[in-house]
Structure 1
Amino acid sequence: MHIDNINYLRENFPRVRKYMLSLPEIERINVEELKAKNDSMTAKIQVGEKKVFLHSSYSPEKEAEQLIHKETQANIDEDSHVIFFGMGYGYAIKAFISKYPSKEYSVIEPNIEVFEKVSEKISFSSLFNTKLKYLFVAEEFSYEEMISKIAQSIGKQVKIIALPTYANLYKAEISQLYDLTKNLIRNKRVTFATNYKFQLNWMENSIKNHRYVLDTPNIVSHVDFEQFRNKPVVIISAGPSLSQDIEHIRYIKDNKLAYLFSVGSAINALVSADILPDAVFSYDPGVKNHQVFEKLIAKGLDSIPLVFGSSVGYRLLDLYKGPKMHFITSQDQVTRYLLGDEILKKELILDSPSIAVMTFQIVNKLEMGPIIFAGQNLGYLYNRRYAEGIDYNFIDSNVQEKEMNNSLNVEDVYGNVIQTNLGFNNMRESLERFASMYNRQYINTTKGGAKIKGIEFKTIEDVIEDDLKKGINKDNWWEGNNKYGVLNYHNKLNKLHDAIDDFKIELNNIINLNVKISNTDDNSALECYFKEIDAVRSKLEKNAFYSFFIVKTIKVQHELMIEKLLKLSKEPNILIRSNLVNNMYNNYLPYVVKASNILESLFLSEIKEND
């Protein structure tokens, strides 16, 4: 490798340099360098018993220009990230940079011999500009890892540009990249939509539920651990297959063969069948979540412990009069701030696509086993989304034709193809990640449900026969006392009130500075105002009320503001930048003001009562 390229990699991509040094010294004979008809560099690559040209044998530059023209005809907007699959001698990258000098991109070179040959002939510092975000070589990472790393640079679109030769040689790999990027974009959109929908709910619920968190035991750490350890548990979900196994659930209940934990809407199917689970779990922050439990509440069935996520819709906790326990969700900024070190890593339950996934985390932390799933279809069966006995006026239990037409195909437990939706698919992938993380004994009894990697399928009849052979003592298992210490609690609360006062001062400062920016076109004055407004924003970011609570309440708007801030900082024209700054704050600050008014009112009315 040329010394200049060694230095370039050391400075910009040390990981690649380290990887290259780790490779064994072997003779590499599969790449033959040649000159094209126009005297430019190209090469032949050995593929089986034949050789193929890496670039055009006539004019690599012209081939590259045609490729970039073809691949960018639909235009590449400012939110697109381009991934080059194949670097070769860099002709396509040069053509792209010439057309889009300010566009960010990443490069994957899958052939180690090509990379080595090229690194001896061309200068990386001349080929790449400063917009190159990631450079990956050969098998340094899996494609999943590559896309995961690139994810932070990906906006709303991804464009993969493959060298023509590589498009034929690496069809499977490129197809995998397309699938990975498509899933990434889709999941980012889901996350964006979820944050936009629930960001205020999470904060409002966490504040209003805080008194219940202080008055109830934490299921992960405030009750006797030994009554759960290595005890079987059935997580009962609301999928349509639950109807087939309801009598087996009754048998398990009657003979005390396992803990029965009902999640979400499953409680309605169980109540309809006169089966009372050992606990019902809920975490949905939505304003309609309490309606899921109307049947339970209307019948006065208040002997079942309710295990609630600390950011659950607050109305449920006010309406349900039975025993309660809690778990701390990663979305609960209030409890995490006020209790601080009292919340151990083990006690924090990561926000997930469904309450089944949250409960799965909890029973793993409690070291229960085997952990058994029932009614966890994660797909459509008989064109229904819920089991019999579950019907709402705000969502149809039957899957409509439009949903079926937009469905995804996944493998079921029998190896057949079933239809599912994006939400169910995200739940399945989350279960698979946690199953891999905890690695305990898991069984999925859901007949006709989606296959869950890492969780074996076994009928509930066989589970009863093979795995649930003796009864267990579950009497009053939920009894326990809240064990959070309050030594620093009041101090934290007082500091928060001080932070609210300080926040108001800095908010007023940033509003006034933004007005000054809009009212002047003097360059020197604008430079001063830019420095001042940046300093005030830095103070705000260190303010607990703003950083812990307001930012989390307007997470979507804050992320959009940060994106704009990074882009406008590169604008060389000071007057254009002043307009961009002014517009950015004019869009963002009203959300800050509204959120601060709501949160201050909630803190004063709810948290102060616990002082």
Structure 2
Amino acid sequence: MYNYKFDIEKSKDNYNILKIYKNDKSIYMGSKYNMKNKIIDFINQFKECDDKSIFLIFGFGSGECIFELSQKFKNNKILIFEPNYNLIKYVQENISEFEFFNSSNNIELKYYNSSALEELKKSISVFDITKIKYGFLCNYEKVYMDRFTEFNNDVKNFLSDTVLYRNTSIVFARRWFDTLMGNLPEILTSSPIDILKGKYKDIPAVIVSAGPSLEKNIHELKNINDKMLVLSGGRTLKPLKDIDVSPDLLGIVDPGEIAYELVKEYIHSEESTLLFYEGTNEKVTKDYIGNKYIFTQSNFIREIFQMNISDMNLGGSVAHTLTGTAVLLGCNPIVFIGQDLAYLKEKRYGDIALTKFDKEKEITLGLVGGKALKVEGVNGELLDTNEELFNFKRGLENIIKNNSDVTFINATEGGALIKGTINMSLKEVISKYSLKDKGNYIKENNHSVDVNHMIDNTVVSLKNIIKSNKNIIAKSKEALKYIELIKSELRVYGKVKNNYYLNKMDEIDEDIKKSYKDLEVLSSLIYPVVYTILTGKKLSEYKDIIEKNEFLYKSVLAVSEYAMKKLECALEQINNMER
């Protein structure tokens, strides 16, 4: 915690200026002689901003720069992260001295500490991400060098994660809805992963990933003799089967066709247990003959099961899902192999994890997935990686950080350094931790849920969703009729003469909003439309506003009509399930 003492003095040109005392030295956060120029310099970095911009500022200073910013952008949100707790406390206790801050609901002063990233997530939505403007006050980058670097990394990581979420949500909008509808019959006959919570307390788990080093030590898994759990994704299933090892849990989370191609040769006779969720490729779940466990991101699914099923999508890859699952099961230690998170001779995957499908499609497996980066290796060297793999690394490190009572071991032969792990060879791990039989709880699959009752719940839910969706379709068509009448008035009179149409459209808006509030299953489908509307430019011309509304209702109508076919098909499938 930074608790530097300080004074607030007057500069030679009569502005308040903050003076910090650090290491027996005093440092002005600005200019003692010409503070006005420092304020101007601070404001000038925001020349390209508009009334939608959201300001993210490192440092409060004396408040003078923030005051000028708030005067120039009176209605904009300003988020200030101040690293000096003493200054935060002073502002709170002397709020009358900062009238601009006290009188505005748009300015937030937050203490910068380890939870700052969470504060950012609460304050800024995905729809605001393109509006963020970042700045820092004079000399803060020098006095609080470590904190300043951390803050920059926090902001970068927040932006990266949010943009990834946005892009993924837009790209997979329709696909996720399709997989949810297609997976419903399999979900109803599967067990929630939570029924295994703590069943494998202190049993070691090995998370098998497909990095280029995997071929160096995968053979060691033949020596675990039922003393450890083996958790695998789809890409590493074949390499494991090639050495006669069947994973205890096979995690599949990808909605794409490649998820099926990676495992299709094995799932008709596979003895392993499948872990999936509503976004998993539905061909995998339909053809998989082994036991199945689910996790979920959907409240719709939780309501069907009438229990709080965990979400194991913890960082973007199946390795994060499997790691989170191992924690839930109570496993300790948790061991990583093939988790390179970097490239070996421009290879992202090991040769043993490449498939015929990869080669036929001529997929480039070199340095793809965002801009090239360098990352520290386990042996201290610098390795090639990219943004995607670097984000995967951060995700794993967050899981490790949040589970300090679990020992995490990186038994990958090389690759990137994973903070919070112990580096050890797989052979050493097996020798040290293969102590007791792991048990067979996963395959016992004690399904504690009444399937017939869940089928009934699903039928009732789907009927209600279909009813609400029919209302949205009808109201969207009604709104489009009013828009045509308004456009006709604009063409003839140059203005809208009849407020009746506008009032009716307001009523329709409220009706549709109310219907969507209860339709969580359509959230992925409608996301691209909502994002386009909420991030668009502010419109002032009547013609532009009408065109935007026309786009909205046409888009909502198209989404709802597409969804209707899938919903009715899913309802028919559920009604025809064996009871």
1:557 aligns with 2:529: yes
Identity, in percent, stands at: 19
8 Å Cα contact 1:283/1:308 also seen in 2: yes
Match of 1:63 in 2: 38
Cα separation, 2, equivalents of 1:434 and 1:56? 44
What amino acid is aligned across from residue 263 of structure 2 in structure 1?
A: F
Tell me which residue corresponds to 2:344: 381
Q: What's the CA shift string for 1:355-378, capped at 9, x where partnerless?
A: 121222223222233332222222
Go from structure 1 to structure 2 and tell me whether the alpha carbon gap of 1:405 and 1:359 turns closer, same or farther (over 3 Å shift). Answer: closer
Which one of 534, 537, 541 corresponds to residue 509 of structure 2? 537
Q: Conserved in 1, the CA contact under 8 Å of 2:18 and 2:62?
A: no
Amino acid at match of 2:547: N
Q: How does 1:108-123 map to 2 (within 5 A)?
A: 108-111=81-84, 116=90, 123=97
Q: Are 1:589 and 2:546 matched, yes or no?
A: no
**Structure 2 length-normalised TM:** 0.84
Deviation of 1:183 after TM superposition, in Å, equals 1.8
Show the counterpart of 2:278. 310
**Contact kept in structure 1, 2:476 and 2:554, CA below 8 Å:** no
Question: What's the counterpart of residue 219 of structure 2?
Answer: 247
Instruction: Quote the Cα distance in structure 1 between the aligned partners of 2:469 and 2:41.
Output: 58
Matched, 1:237 2:209: yes
Q: Is the 8 A contact 1:280 1:307 kept in 2?
A: yes
Change (3 A) 1:516 1:88: farther
Structure 1 residue 358 corresponds to structure 2 residue 325: no
Q: Which amino acid aligns with 2:209?
A: S
Q: Distance in 1 between matches of 2:555 and 2:288?
A: 36
Query: Where do 1:83-122 residues align within 5 Å?
Result: 83-97=56-70, 99-111=72-84, 116=90
- Give 2:171's aligned residue: 197
Question: Could you say if the C-alpha distance between residues 390 and 295 of structure 1 is closer, same or farther in structure 2, counting changes exceeding 3 Å?
Answer: farther
CA positional deviation for 1:112: 5.6
Asked if the contact 1:238–1:375 (Cα under 8 Å) also holds between the matched residues in 2, the reply is: yes
Q: How many residues align?
A: 562
Structure 2: distance between partners of 1:551 and 1:508:
20
In 2, Cα distance between equivalents of 1:343 and 1:447: 44
Question: Counterparts of 1:216 and 1:110 in 2: how far apart (Å)?
Answer: 49
Aligned to 1:601: 565
Maintained 8 Å contact 1:550/1:592:
no
Residue in 2 aligned with 1:412?
A: 377
Deviation at 1:312, TM superposition (A): 0.8
Q: Does 1:287 align with 2:257?
A: yes
- 1:349 match: secondary structure: coil
Could you tell me which runs of 5 or more consecutive residues in structure 2 were left unpaired when the two chains were aligned.
none
Which segment is superposed worse, 119-128 or 547-556?
A: 119-128
Distance 2:253 2:11 in 1: 65
TM-score after normalising by structure 1: 0.80
Relative distance call for 1:393 and 1:197 in structure 2 (3 A) is: farther
The answer as to 2:293 corresponding to 1:326 is: yes
Q: Quick check: 1:349–1:358 contact (8 Å CA) kept in 2?
A: yes
Q: Which SS does the other structure have where 2:415 is aligned?
A: coil
Can you list the C-alpha shifts for 1:44-72, whole angstroms capped at 9, x where unaligned? 44344443444433442233223322x23
Alpha-carbon contact 1:240-1:385 (below 8 Å) kept: yes
Residue identity in the other structure for 2:253: Y
What is the letter of the counterpart of residue 490 of structure 1? Answer: V
What residue in structure 2 maps to residue 610 of structure 1? Answer: 574
RMSD: 3.7
Report what 1:267 is aligned to: 237
Letter in 2 for 1:496: I
Work out the CA distance in 1 between the residues paired with 2:87 and 2:472. 56
How far apart, in 1, do the equivalents of 2:460 and 2:185 lie? 17
1:187 corresponds to: 161
Match of 2:412 in 1: 446
Structure 2 Cα separation of the partners of residues 284 and 490 of structure 1: 27
Counterpart-to-counterpart distance in 1, 2:406 and 2:313: 19
**Greater shift in the superposed pair: 452-461 or 193-202:** 452-461
CA distance in 1, matches of 2:192, 2:101: 57
Question: Which consecutive unaligned segments of at least 5 residues does structure 1 have?
Answer: 1-22
Contact 2:16–2:64 at 8 Å: present in 1 too? Answer: no
Over residues 541-567 of structure 1, what are the superposed CA-to-partner deviations in whole Å (9 max), with x where a residue is unaligned?
322697323332121321332445xx8
Q: By how many angstroms is 1:466 displaced?
A: 0.8
Partner of 1:6: none
Counterpart Cα distance in 1 of 2:558 and 2:237: 38
CA distance, structure 2, for counterparts of residue 518 and residue 276 of structure 1: 65
Cα shift at 1:129: 7.5
1:33 is the counterpart of 2:9: yes
